[in-house]
Amino acid sequence: MQEISLAEEQSLLKKVKKGNKAALETLCSYTWQDIYKFVFFKTKDTHLAEEITQDTYCRAVSSMARYTIRDTRFKSYLMTIANNLIIDGYRKKKITVMGHEEVLKYIPDLKKGPEAFYMLEEKKQEIRHCLQQLSDEQQQIISYRLLEGYSVRETSQMMGKSESAVRTAQHRAVVQLKELMRKEGIV
């Protein structure tokens, strides 16, 4: 679905708050894929991602009367709900969050025979090892900001932190990751 402006999104939200089902359907269609990808990235399970995405929308719709329209994307609100559902499931041991496998897709596929494939797999393991040495918060910030492309504002809202705290934590995470990769001989 094509990008809609913040003003158009806010107009849809006002209609949804008044009970307009067509506006709700449009808003859901517009955000569904991003929310699903976000949840799938965290859970690595298609069925669980579908379930959590549906639960996210159910919670959002049921709390729509209390929702305050702001100068931020509704998607950020949905991702916060989804993230909280994932955390709740993780606490209840229903969900295993997989970490940052997504980083590995940024390593180019050399396609130069079995030796190159082995070297690529080895490099993936080294990067995975470096990422796992970061704190959970650092891994989450790298995921949101660098892999998923969320803004500082969106990341701060999803994590419940100030924008300056997100910037500082991102800087520290990147510096630490570079240092770990340097020690491993990756960079």
Handedness of CA 39, 41, 43, 45 (dihedral sign): positive
> Would you mind telling me the total number of residues written for the chain in this entry?
187
pLDDT in tens, 153-174: 888 888 888 989 998 998 888 8
Q: Is 97:42 a contact under the CB 8 Å cutoff?
A: yes
pLDDT in tens, 96-150: 444 445 444 444 454 555 565 566 667 777 877 888 888 888 888 887 787 777 7
Mean pLDDT of 16-38: 89
Domains of the chain are: 6-91 (1.10.1740.10), 101-183 (1.10.10.10)
Q: How far is CA 169 from the centre of its chain?
A: 16
